[in-house]
Amino acid sequence: MAQDIIPIGPDRFYHPASEEELAALVAHAYRNGLQVRARGAAHSVAYAIYTDPEQPGGNHVEQQSPPPGPNLNIMLDRYIGLAVYDRENRRVIADAGIHLGRDPSDPTGTSTLENSLLWRLNNEYGWTLSDTGGIIHQTVSGFTATGSSGGSVQFSVNANLYGFRVIDGTGAVTEVTREDRDPEKLALFHSMSPSMGLMGIVSRVILECVPSFNITGQEAISTIEGAAIDLLGEGTPRRPSLEAFLRDAEYARLTWWPQRGAERVQVWQAQQIRPQIGFIPRRYEEFTSRPELGESFIYVFYTFLGNLEDLGRVRKQMHEGWDDLTKVLRMVMQAEGLPAPVAMGIEGLLNLAFDLAFPLLRVLGPQIQKHVPQIFQAVIGQFVALDSTKEGMEKGEPQAFHDWSWQGLPMDNQAADNKVPTEFTEIWVPLGRTRQVMNLLNDYFTAPATDDKAYVRTGTYGWELYTAQATPFWMSASHTDGADEWKDGAFRVDIYWWAENPGNPAETFYPQYWRLLRAAGVPFRLHWAKFQPIIPEGDPEGWTEFFRAQYPRWDAFLELRRRRDPNNVFLTDYWRERFGLRAEPRPQPRPAGIAFTGVGEGTPSHG
C-alpha cells in the first residue's frame, strides 16, 4: 500500500476522516493512473456510483459494495462534521459525508438521527432547509451531486446551496460560492448540482439555511373521477387542473394508480406553519398505523406477482419475506391480547403453510399470471383503500397530519429499503406540459383491448407525480435560463419498478415510455442517478444527442470537466456512455509533485 494515503478498509472502501486525507486519495489516483469515486448512501444505480472493475464488462455490481480492482472507492462515514460558516446569514459548512437524516442502510452503522444534518440544524441552531426529497437517507454531497429535489415549485434545496469545497482531478481543493466574481469559479458553482462526481470529489457543502418551520397537511385517496383535482382535464374554478394544483401547492406529491379496474390517486399536500411552543407532531402514516405489517405484506405480494413465470428464482427472498410477515403478525396478535403460545402457534402454522404451498404455487405460477389484473384489483383495494371505504372515517375524509418540516417533508422515509426495494426512472418535463404528458400516458394505458395487454403497459406499481423548482444549475433536470419553457419549473413522473423483479427495466420496461414521449415531441430530461436508456456503441437511437439538445450548457459542462480532470480519474465507462466520451483516454501514471492550490482560499473562520 502506498505510504501517502490511508489504508483501504476490509470492505474495499477508503474511509478518509479529513479533507487532507480525501485530497491525498485523489492525488494518489492522479499520479498512479487510477479512477476514484465517492459513495454517498448508494441510492443511485450502482454503475453511476463506483469505479470500473478490473476486468472489462461494466460496473453493474451489487449496490452496497464497490467492484474489485486497484481503483479507489471512497466512503465518507468518518467525515461528518458540521460547523457555522456565517452565523448572521445562517450559513453552515457540512462535511461531505454527513447524512441528511439517519440512513438505516448505512453499512458502517455510524449514521444516527442525532449526528444527521437536519436534526442538528434544527436542534442546535433552530435552522433547516427549504425542502427535502421524499427520503433523507442520503449524504449531503450525494443529494446535491445527483441533482435530487423535493416536490415543490415554490421551495427548493437548491436555494439553500451557497457554496462547495471540491477536489479536482489532481488533488487540488477549490472553494466556490454563488457570489464569486471569477467567471471560472462561478461556472464551477453552477456545475455542481448535479455534477455526477465528474467535477471532482466534494469535500464540503456550504448551506444557507432558513429558520425552522413546521408543516400541516393531508392525504386523500380517491377515484380519478372523485378526486378534488382534475387529473387529466383543464380544470374548473372548483376543481383545479393538475398543473394549477401543483403551481399553487407549497408541497405536493401524488401517487397515481392507472391500472385498469383499480384506477385511483393519492394526493399528499402540505404547507408551512410557524413553530409552536409545545408542538406535538401527528405523523403521516404511509403504511397505516402498522407500517411493519404493511411493508412485509407488500414485499411478499410484489415479489410473488413479479416472478410468476419462475418463482424458483425468488424462493429464498419470498421465504425471508414470509418469515418477516409472520413474525410481525405474531407481535400484532400478542399486542392485541392473544396469549403468546397461541400467537406463536399461529406463526408456526403459517410458516408450515408456506413450505407446503410454495411448490404448488411454483408449478401454477404461469397459470396464475393470466389473472394478475384481477388479483391486483382485489389487493390494491386493501392496501391503497379509498377514503370512502375506510372504517371509522366519514365518507371522503382524508388523513390529516402535522409535523416538523425536516421529519414530515420526507414522506417516504418510513419505507424500509429492504422491505420496499423500489427502483425507478424519473422523467422531468416543463411544468406547462403537465396535461399533455398525463393524457399521452393515459391514452397509452387505455388503448389496449384486453386487461393483460393494458397491464403490460402500466405495470402493477404506483406512479409518482410531483414537481421541482426551476434552477440555474447547469445540468439540473429543471435547469432554465429564465426565458425558456422550463422557467416555471418541472413536472416529474417517477415510474416505479420492484427491485426483486427479473431483468433490467432499462431494457424491458422503461424504453416504451422514453420512446413514447420522444415520438410525441415532448422535451424531457431524466434524473441522473436513476435508470436511463442503455447506450450501446454507436448509439443507434441517438440518445446522447437527444439529451445534449435538452441541456443548453451541456458542452460548457464537459469542457469544464475536461479542464478539472486532466487524467480522467473521475470518468467511468457509465459516464463515458452518457456523455458520448468513449474516445477519452484512460487514466495514465503522472509525475509526482502536485501543487494543492486553492486550499482555504477566501474561507471564513468555521465556528
**What is the pLDDT at residue 251?**
98
Would you say residue 61 has pLDDT above 50?
Answer: no
Mean pLDDT (whole number) for 4-31: 96
> Which sign, positive or negative, has the C-alpha torsion 472, 550, 561, 44?
positive
Task: For residue 194, say if its preceding peptide bond is cis, omega within 30 degrees of 0.
Answer: yes
Q: How many CB atoms lie within 10 A of CB 453?
A: 12
Nearest-angstrom CA–CA distance, 412 and 127: 22
Instruction: Find where cell 411493508 sits.
Output: 295
**What is the pLDDT at residue 62?**
55
Would you say residue 211 has pLDDT above 70?
Answer: yes
Encode pLDDT of 151-163 as tens digits.
999 999 999 999 9
Would you say residue 215 has pLDDT above 60?
Answer: yes
* pLDDT classification of 388: cutoffs 50, 70, 90: confident
**What is the pLDDT at residue 601?**
41
Which H or E element spans position 85?
Answer: strand 82-86
Q: How many CB atoms lie within 10 A of CB 289?
A: 8
Q: How many CB atoms lie within 10 A of CB 33?
A: 16
Higher pLDDT, 590 or 268: 268
Mean pLDDT (whole number) for 219-228: 95
Would you say residue 390 has pLDDT above 80?
Answer: no
Higher pLDDT, 286 or 477: 477
Sheet containing 161-167, strands listed edge to edge, beginning at the edge strand earlier in sequence: 82-86, 91-95, 201-208, 161-167, 173-177
**What is the pLDDT at residue 225?**
95
For the 214-281+394-534 domain, the top CATH level (class) is alpha beta
Q: How far is CA 358 from CA 257, 309, 317, 367, in A?
A: 29, 14, 12, 14
**What is the pLDDT at residue 2?**
53
Nearest-angstrom CA–CA distance, 408 and 583: 46
CB 100 within 8 A of CB 136: yes
CB 510 within 8 A of CB 531: yes
Of 16, 79, 599, nearest to 4 (Cα)?
A: 16
Q: How far is CA 63 from CA 247, 401, 420, in A?
A: 36, 34, 15
β-bridge mates for residue 464, sequence order = 255, 494
- Common-topology check for domains 82-211 and 214-281+394-534: no
**What is the pLDDT at residue 606?**
36
Would you say residue 396 has pLDDT above 70?
Answer: no
Mean pLDDT (whole number) for 558-565: 98
Would you say residue 544 has pLDDT above 50?
Answer: yes
Instruction: Give the single-character DSSP code of 14.
Output: B
Q: How many CB atoms lie within 10 A of CB 231?
A: 24
Q: Is 223 left (phi over 0), alpha (psi -120 to 50) or beta?
A: beta
β-bridge mates for residue 430, sequence order = 490
Nearest-angstrom CA–CA distance, 457 and 511: 11
Nearest-angstrom CA–CA distance, 67 and 55: 10
**What is the pLDDT at residue 59?**
46
Domain 82-211, classified CATH 3.30.465.10, yes or no: yes
All structural domains of the chain with their residue ranges = 82-211, 214-281+394-534, 287-370
Higher pLDDT, 358 or 58: 358
Q: How many CB atoms lie within 10 A of CB 348?
A: 12
Mean pLDDT (whole number) for 563-572: 97
Would you say residue 296 has pLDDT above 70?
Answer: yes
Encode pLDDT of 68-123 as tens digits.
899 999 999 999 999 999 999 999 999 999 999 999 999 999 999 999 999 999 99
Alpha helices (runs of H) in 370-401, residue ranges in sequence order: 372-383
Of 184, 154, 318, 391, nearest to 251 (Cα)?
A: 154
Mean pLDDT (whole number) for 511-524: 98
* pLDDT classification of 565: cutoffs 50, 70, 90: very high
Mean pLDDT (whole number) for 514-519: 98
Crossing angle between the packed helical segments 451-458 and 434-446, to the nearest 10 degrees:
150
The CA radius of gyration of the chain, in Å to the nearest whole number, is 25
**What is the pLDDT at residue 393?**
45
Would you say residue 314 has pLDDT above 90?
Answer: yes
Would you say residue 560 has pLDDT above 70?
Answer: yes
* Single-letter residue type at 85: Y
Would you say residue 222 has pLDDT above 90?
Answer: yes
Mean pLDDT of the chain: 92
Would you say residue 3 has pLDDT above 70?
Answer: no
* pLDDT classification of 497: cutoffs 50, 70, 90: very high
Which triple of cell numbers denotes residue 537? 456503441
DSSP per-residue string spanning 54-81: SSSS-----TTSPPSSSSEEEE-TT---
Which triple of cell numbers denotes residue 45? 444505480
* pLDDT classification of 344: cutoffs 50, 70, 90: very high
Percent of the chain clearing pLDDT 90 (strictly above): 85
